[in-house]
Amino acid sequence: MNTELLRQIKEKGLLLEKELFDLLNSFDDPEATKTLLENLQRFSGQKILTKASLSKNIEYIQRAAGELDSTHKKSVESVFVKLGISLEISKTLTLDNDKHVDLEPQTSYSIHYSDTKADKKLDISDFVGNFRSRYQQLQRILINRPQLKNLISINKISADRQAISFIGIVTEKRITKNKNMMIKFEDLTGEISGLIKMDNKELSPIANELQLDDIVGVRASGNRDLLFVHEIIFPDAHIPNRTMFKDEVCVAFLSDVHAGSDRHLGKSFERFLDWVNSDDETAKKIKYVFFTGDNVDGVGIFPGQENFLRLKSMKEQYALLASYLRRMPKHITMFMCPGQHDASRVAEPQPLVDKRYAPELYEIENLVLVTNPTLVKLYNKGVEFKVLMYHGASIHSFINEIQELREMKAHRSPAKAVRHMLKRRHLAPTHSTVTYIPNANKDPLVIEEVPDVLCTGEVHRLDIENYNGVLIITGSCWQAQTAFEEKVGNIPDPAKVPVLNLKTRELKVFDFGVEEEINNEY
Closest to 288 in 3D by CA, of 320, 315, 321, 248: 248
Contacts of 46 (CB under 8 A, 6+ apart): 53
User: Are 323 and 432 found together in one domain?
Assistant: yes
Residue where a domain stops, chosen among 201, 233, 265? 233
CA distance 250 to 231: 41
Residue where a domain stops, chosen among 92, 113, 145? 92
Contacts of 448 (CB under 8 A, 6+ apart): 137, 141, 425
What integer pLDDT is reported at residue 46 of this predicted model? Answer: 60
Total tally of structural domains belonging to the chain: 3
DSSP 8-state secondary structure symbol assigned to residue 261: B
pLDDT above 90 coverage of the chain, percent: 65
- Please report the DSSP string for 345-384 in residue order: -SSBSB-SPPTTT-TTGGG-TTEEE--BSEEEEEEETTEE
Grade residue 104 by pLDDT with cuts at 50, 70 and 90. very low
User: Are 261 and 316 found together in one domain?
Assistant: yes
Evaluate if residue 366 carries a pLDDT over 60: yes
User: Are 293 and 432 found together in one domain?
Assistant: yes
User: Are 197 and 321 found together in one domain?
Assistant: no
Grade residue 45 by pLDDT with cuts at 50, 70 and 90. low
Q: Strand 226-233 to strand 215-223: parallel, antiparallel, or no bridges (unpaired)?
A: antiparallel
Degrees to nearest 5, angle at CA 449 with 448 and 451: 130
User: Are 217 and 256 found together in one domain?
Assistant: no
Distances (CA, A) of 211 to 23, 92, 176, 234: 44, 38, 18, 12
Residue 304 maps to which CATH number? Answer: 3.60.21.50
pLDDT in tens, 213-242: 999 999 999 999 989 999 999 999 999 889
User: Are 445 and 397 found together in one domain?
Assistant: yes
pLDDT in tens, 49-73: 766 555 545 555 555 565 555 555 5
Confidence (pTM): 0.79
What integer pLDDT is reported at residue 100 of this predicted model? Answer: 56
User: Are 363 and 472 found together in one domain?
Assistant: yes
Grade residue 136 by pLDDT with cuts at 50, 70 and 90. very high
User: Are 366 and 326 found together in one domain?
Assistant: yes
User: Are 211 and 264 found together in one domain?
Assistant: no
Structural domain contains residue 397: yes
Structural domain contains residue 69: yes
What integer pLDDT is reported at residue 381 of this predicted model? Answer: 87
Q: What is the mean pLDDT of residues 419-429?
A: 96
Evaluate if residue 3 carries a pLDDT over 50: yes
Grade residue 310 by pLDDT with cuts at 50, 70 and 90. very high
Residue where a domain stops, chosen among 199, 233, 267? 233
Structural domain contains residue 380: yes
Structural domain contains residue 238: no
Residue 64 or 23, more confident: 23
Structural domain contains residue 287: yes
User: Are 388 and 483 found together in one domain?
Assistant: yes
CA distance 313 to 470: 39
pLDDT in tens, 453-512: 999 999 999 999 999 999 999 999 999 988 888 887 888 999 999 999 999 999 999 999
User: Are 169 and 88 found together in one domain?
Assistant: no
Is the bond leading into 240 cis (omega within 30 degrees of zero)?
no
User: Are 479 and 352 found together in one domain?
Assistant: yes
CA distance 452 to 41: 25
pLDDT in tens, 371-391: 999 999 999 988 999 999 999
CB of 399 closer than 8 Å to CB of 365: no
Domain range spanning residue 227? 154-233
CB of 153 closer than 8 Å to CB of 46: no
